[in-house]
Chain A
Amino acid sequence: MPEYIAKRLILMIPLLLGITIICFVVIHLAPGSPTDLQTDLNPQVSAEAKERLKAMYDLDKPLHVQYLLWLKKLALFDLGTSFSSDHRPVVDKVMERIPITIVINVLSLFMIIVIAIPIGVLSAVHRDSLFDKATTVFVFIGFAVPTFWLALLLMILFGVKLNWLPISGLRSIGYGEVSFFAALFDMAKHLLLPVLLSAFGGLAGLSRYMRSNMLEVIKQDYITTARAKGLSERTVIYKHALRNALLPVITILGLSVPGLIGGSVIFETIFAIPGMGQLFYMSVMSRDYPVIMGVLFIGAILTLLGNLIADISYAVADPRIRVK
């Protein structure tokens, strides 16, 4: 197993290089340069000063030289400093925003697992029952509903009409003055809608997937054997069938990481949550190259790690794969 992990980690390097090259080229092809913001509105800036500013950020060099410079810094774990007016290191900027994005994504993944798996199992076991038909309808709606629209509707309902939940931000005013638990409760209230909504899309997908897996497994010979042994239906379904049906779910969860990270752009913008998605959106708009590269790089690492962890846990869970 350690060899396998090492091999996978080494394979990540060319993938990361490829990803960063594509990112680098795409963002540098964009018209408009980060120095425009500082210079265009100021009539006193001469063409020469503009060039000097460009030279300061190495923007005058050919693209491949710029990329190599970026790579060189990366080797020293330095993602550069932001072009925006605060000039802070990209690492700091990303690190202060990453926890909230990860918290939201982990909570919603947790919710997806806890809700979708029982739904899928039950609708497979009671196939064609009323419950199965109801969840099928739910799944089709879940696939088709634009989640940002649902977010809007829930904001209207709970935030504006009923006034139960806050509709934006992470904390209420006066956050520092209340007790720890009151603050925690306040934060939970702010996070409820974003977590619920980012879980919603995945919920439909996973429960559908779980259902078809379970249907497939129930047809297998070893389930017939288990029944023939005289095991109770409960043991057959929850011990013999469920475990085998759960296996492919691991892979799906690993693959869903980029979707969740990407989805956070929408939710963080709608709910004004200061996370990675919002940082990325703002840095794209202001052509803040180092921050864009930093977020894409860290997003890619998280994605690759998600896939790796999924593959490893699959191998741990399934003895048939371990042999290879």
Chain B
Amino acid sequence: MRFVDIMLCFPSFFLILAVIAFLEPSIWNIMIVIGLTGWMGITRLVRADFISLKERDFVQAARGIGAGDFRIIFRHILPNAMSSVLVAATLGVAGAILTESALSFLGIGVQPPTPSWGNILTAGKDNIDIAWWLSLYPGLAILITVMGYNLLGEGIRDSLDPRLRE
């Protein structure tokens, strides 16, 4: 967990920039970088879930029947921790889209001629005086997509949370 703390202390965008300098900018590398710099939140989440779940009665019961650690971790605790992971992953997609578009906008993400909403916006910025619509629509597309994933995440959370089910 110390390592996670260290990773959380980086201004994440600085870290991404540093890693990009190491890997040449391309679609694959962007995916790798966003993954490499974005896993810490879920780690903490799963840890917190496991800490509380492993004290529950059903784990005790499983141990009482004689289930091994492996079985308890993967068959009993993990499925229970999955719901918050699923939510975090959905919201993470939204975050990753925003990060990718920001990187591509700065010219260190997806490289033209491969189009990305971010690098279309860069082209829009260069023609800001004559063609404002070039800057409007790609951003609107990002906004709608990200909002879609956020709403999906909230929806999953609401439907998986038994306290909210009435």
A-side residues, CB < 8 A to B, are 14-15, 18-19, 22-23, 26-27, 29-31, 140-141, 143-146, 148-150, 152-153, 155-156, 160, 258-259, 261-263, 265-266, 269, 280-281, 284-285, 287, 292, 295-296, 299-300, 303-304, 307
A283 to B26, CA, bound (A): 20
Q: Is the CB of B6 within 8 A of A19?
A: yes
A111 to B129, CA, bound (A): 30
Q: Report if A292-B94 is in contact (Cβ < 8 Å); known contacts: A149-B142, A156-B132, A258-B9.
A: no
A160 to B128, CA, bound (A): 8
Q: Is the CB of B139 within 8 A of A258?
A: no
Contacts of B9 in A (CB 8 A): 15, 19, 258, 300, 303-304, 307
A29 to B19, CA, bound (A): 9
B9, B132, B143 pick with most chain A CB within 10 angstroms? B9
Q: State the Cβ distance, B110 to closest chain A Cβ, in Å.
A: 14
Contacts of A143 in B (CB 8 A): 94, 146-147, 150
Which chain B residue has the least Cβ–Cβ distance from A149?
Answer: B139
Q: Is the CB of B14 within 8 A of A31?
A: no
Contacts of A156 in B (CB 8 A): 128, 132, 135
Which parts of B1-32 form the interface with A (CB within 8 Å)? 2-3, 5-15, 17-22, 24
Q: Is the CB of A265 within 8 A of B18?
A: no
Contacts of B125 in A (CB 8 A): 152
Tell me whether chain A's interface is mostly helix, strand or loop, or mixed: helix
Which chain B residue has the least Cβ–Cβ distance from A159?
Answer: B128
| B82 in contact (CB, < 8 A) | no
Which chain A residue has the least Cβ–Cβ distance from B3?
Answer: A18
A31, A143, A265, A281 pick with most chain B CB within 10 angstroms? A143
Contacts of A296 in B (CB 8 A): 10, 14, 18
Contacts of B106 in A (CB 8 A): 265-266, 269, 281
Which chain B residue has the least Cβ–Cβ distance from A139?
Answer: B150
B-side residues, CB < 8 A to A, are 2-3, 5-15, 17-22, 24, 94, 98, 101-102, 105-106, 118, 121, 124-125, 128-129, 132, 135-136, 138-139, 142-144, 146-147, 150-151
A287 to B146, CA, bound (A): 34
Question: A15, A27, A285, A303: which contacts B11 (Cβ < 8 A)?
Answer: A303
A146 to B94, CA, bound (A): 11
A237 to B21, CA, bound (A): 51
Q: Is the CB of B10 within 8 A of A284?
A: no
Contacts of A26 in B (CB 8 A): 15, 18-19, 22
Q: State the Cβ distance, B5 to closest chain A Cβ, in Å.
A: 7
A303 to B105, CA, bound (A): 26
Q: Is the CB of B17 within 8 A of A140?
A: no
Q: Report if A259-B129 is in contact (Cβ < 8 Å); known contacts: A146-B102, A146-B143, A153-B135.
A: no
A29 to B20, CA, bound (A): 11
Contacts of B105 in A (CB 8 A): 146, 148-149, 266
A144 to B146, CA, bound (A): 5
**21 A-B contact pairs sorted by A residue (CB < 8 Å):** A15-B9, A19-B10, A22-B6, A29-B22, A30-B21, A30-B22, A143-B150, A146-B143, A148-B105, A152-B125, A152-B139, A156-B132, A160-B128, A262-B14, A266-B13, A280-B17, A281-B17, A284-B17, A287-B21, A299-B10, A300-B9
Q: Is the CB of B13 within 8 A of A262?
A: yes
Contacts of B98 in A (CB 8 A): 144, 146
Q: State the Cβ distance, A141 to closest chain B Cβ, in Å.
A: 7
Contacts of B151 in A (CB 8 A): 140
A285 to B118, CA, bound (A): 19
Question: A15, A148, A153: which contacts B5 (Cβ < 8 A)?
Answer: A15
A51 to B13, CA, bound (A): 33
Contacts of B94 in A (CB 8 A): 143-144
Q: State the Cβ distance, B84 to closest chain A Cβ, in Å.
A: 16
Contacts of B11 in A (CB 8 A): 258-259, 261-262, 299, 303
Contacts of A155 in B (CB 8 A): 128
Q: State the Cβ distance, A28 to closest chain B Cβ, in Å.
A: 9
Which chain A residue has the least Cβ–Cβ distance from B121?
Answer: A149
Contacts of B101 in A (CB 8 A): 146, 148-149
A280 to B3, CA, bound (A): 24
Q: Report if A265-B12 is in contact (Cβ < 8 Å); known contacts: A19-B6, A31-B22.
A: no
